Amino acid sequence: MKKYLYAALFITSAMLAGCSKSEPEPEPAEQVIGSYTVDKVTVAYKYVDSPVEESQSYIFPFKNNQGELTAIVDVSKSASNIITLTYVETAKYTNGQTETSKDVYSSIELKPSETASGVFDMYSAGVKSGTVGGGNLNFEDITSLKDTVGRALTFAFRISGKKSK
């Protein structure tokens, strides 16, 4: 009987030793950090009492007779599933001057997307604000405002981009 017990233990340990452990999946933030080149910016507004949203989209880089406008989004890790987005817009004018502006969106929470593996939904203050992963970034910042005559409206700033190589 002992012979069978030892044989079973030997076979079990040999099988366990032969099994390879799978690599742990990187943290969500680790999978999306990096720089993304912005390829489209949309600005939109909608009055609360209107069914119509007015919007204008710009394909980047945006060029005209005054110069060129480019933008990037740097994604940095704050915690395992929390990121910070830094939007950097650079205007290069034909007269040689350069102007840069920066907006920072912090405490963006990542949750796995139900639509694709390696893609994460981004949440700002509990509200879905976009997706990131698979080499793509889509982000939307919505702000409630009042115009100069006191009418309530929402302003949306939407960006999309591809991960820089």
The model's pLDDT over 17-39, given as tens digits with 9 standing for 90+, comes to 555 567 788 999 999 999 999 99
Per the domain annotation, does 116 fall within a domain? Answer: yes
Per the domain annotation, does 3 fall within a domain? Answer: no
Provide the mean pLDDT of the chain: 90
Rounded to two decimals, the pTM is 0.83
Per the domain annotation, does 30 fall within a domain? Answer: yes
Residues 80/81/82/85 CA torsion (nearest 10 deg): 110
Domain count, the chain: 1
Residue 5's pLDDT band, with cuts at 50, 70 and 90, is very low
Per the domain annotation, does 13 fall within a domain? Answer: no
The kind and range of the H/E element at 35 are strand 34-47
Per the domain annotation, does 69 fall within a domain? Answer: yes
Predicted pLDDT at 11: 57
**Over the stretch 148-157, which tens digit does the pLDDT of each residue have?**
999 999 999 9
Per the domain annotation, does 1 fall within a domain? Answer: no
d(CA 109, CA 101): 24
Predicted pLDDT at 14: 54
Any idea which of 18-32, 63-77, 94-108 has the lowest mean pLDDT? 18-32
Three-class secondary structure of residue 33 per DSSP = coil
Three-class secondary structure of residue 23 per DSSP = coil
Question: Is 50 exceeded by the pLDDT of residue 8?
Answer: no
Farthest CA pair distance, the chain: 92
Predicted pLDDT at 139: 98
Domain hosting residue 90, numbered range: 26-163
Per the domain annotation, does 14 fall within a domain? Answer: no
Residue 105's pLDDT band, with cuts at 50, 70 and 90, is very high
Per the domain annotation, does 82 fall within a domain? Answer: yes
Q: φ, ψ for residue 50 (rounded to 5)?
A: -125, 145
Question: Is 90 exceeded by the pLDDT of residue 165?
Answer: no
Predicted pLDDT at 19: 55
Query: Do residues 30 and 37 touch, judged by C-beta distance below 8 A?
Result: no
